[in-house]
Every structure is written in structure tokens, then in C-alpha cells.
Amino acid sequence: MQTIVWDVDDVLNSLMHEWFTQAWLKEHPRCAIEYEELTGNPPHLALGAAREEYLASLDAFRKTESGIHLPPNVELLGWFARNGCKFRHIALTSRPLESAPDTAWWVMHHFGAWIRCFCVVPSRADRGAPIYDLGKGDFLRWLGKGDVMVDDAEENLKQAAELGMKTIAWPQPWNGSRLDTASTLLELMKGAGE
């Protein structure tokens, strides 16, 4: 049975979209760009903001009720209901450690019937916490498991491919995927050996 490693934010949920529409646009009512124009991740350059301002806004949103209780990707829930039992699943997220407990709860609440492992690589150094991995590639190398990686970040996919994993880019404005969700899920089934 193959193992699929899933990114959480912007794959299993739509964190960036929700943050952009619920937080950034309210904080910056003169912002003249659309979500589809966020072609970089992090998107601070497209937003005309400092990276620190973007991160502070995103981190603040993660602590809100809306940020903690993001709706799951409905199409993925349907895919898991039909196909989830055919594979093993790992959630691998990169975010600040302080928000990881809420995300672990969220993954288990929405996808826990299939995803039994939740892993986090801190996106920024947290005081007093040891640094085990510099990125998802380091973590996957240590873990030694995983056949397919689904992520929205091209760098994470590149690192997984270097480890011999098949990779699926989840469609977002900041990556090279030109597929819609349905086509991506078809590619996933092909990539996972079905």
C-alpha cells in the first residue's frame, strides 16, 4: 500500500484564500489585486508589503476562529471517501509551532478517518525548540516513508522528487500547475499507482 504525504495549508484547506479575503483585504481596503494574482508564496511582494507584515497578518489570522476552523477542501473529502482506504496517509505541514496543535486537531477532525500521522516542520525558528529539519525534504529524508507528495509549494515538491517520490502540485496561483482540482486528483491516482 503506497503512502501519500499531504500538505495541509492550501491543499487540505484554503488558508491563503481565507486569510486574503477575511483578513488582508479588510486590513488593506485599498488593495487592488485579486487572489489569483498572488503568484509568489510568500506573496508579500505582490501585496507590496514587507515579509514581516505579511507573516504577522497570517499568524494573527491563524489564531482567529475562522483561521482555526477553516472549511476542509470538499472535493478532497469526497476523494478520501472514495479512495482514501486504498493508501496510507501522512499530513506534513510547515507552520509556526504555536499553531500546530490547532492544525493537528483540524486534520484529525476532518481527515482523521484516513490520515493517521500528523507531522510539522516549523516554518520559523521558535525560541527554545530544537531544529531537526530545515524543510520538508529534510523531514522526509529522516522519515524514510512516502511514495507520493501532494503540496502547493514547488520547492517542497522538488525536494520530494530528489528523494525519489512522485509529486503532485496542488493548483494554486503561485505554482506551475495548470490543472483544476478534478484533473489533479486524476493525476494523483495515476501517480499513486492506480
What digits encode the pLDDT tens for the residues 79-116? 999 999 999 999 999 999 999 999 999 999 999 999 99
Domain boundary among 50, 68, 86: 68
Average pLDDT in the 5-31 region? 97
81 shares its domain with 173: yes
Contact between 88 and 100 under an 8 Å Cβ cutoff? The reply is no
CA-CA distances (angstroms) from residue 29 to 5, 23, 57, 93? 37, 10, 14, 30
94 and 175 share one domain = yes
> In the chain, how many domains are there?
2
Q: In what order do the strands lie in the sheet with 148-151?
A: 115-122, 88-95, 3-6, 148-151, 166-169
Instruction: Tell me how far apart the terminal alpha carbons of the chain are, to the nearest angstrom.
Output: 11
Looking at the structure, tell me whether residues 151 and 181 fall in a common domain: yes
Residues 101 and 76 in one domain: yes
Cell 517542497 found at: 156
Residues 90 and 184 in one domain: yes
Residues 50 and 81 in one domain: no
Q: What is the pLDDT of residue 129?
A: 87
Do 97 and 177 have their domain in common?
yes
Q: Residue 137: give its domain's CATH number.
A: 3.40.50.1000
Q: Of 65, 77, 56, whose CA–CA distance to 22 is shortest?
A: 65
Residue type, 104: A
Res 176: pLDDT: 86
| Residues 46 and 101 reside in one and the same domain | no
pLDDT digits (tens, 9 = 90+) for 38-83: 999 999 999 999 999 999 999 999 999 999 999 999 999 999 999 9
The domain of 46 spans 15-68
Indicate whether 23 and 86 sit together in one domain.
no
Report, as an integer, the average pLDDT of 8-28: 97
pTM (2 decimals)?
A: 0.95
Band of pLDDT at residue 135, cut at 50, 70 and 90? very high
| Cβ proximity of 22 and 66 under 8 Å | yes
Are 137 and 50 in a shared domain?
no
Question: Is residue 153 scored above 70 in pLDDT?
Answer: yes
Q: According to the 3-state scheme, what is the secondary structure of 111-136?
A: HCCCEEEEEEEECCCCCCCCCCCCCH
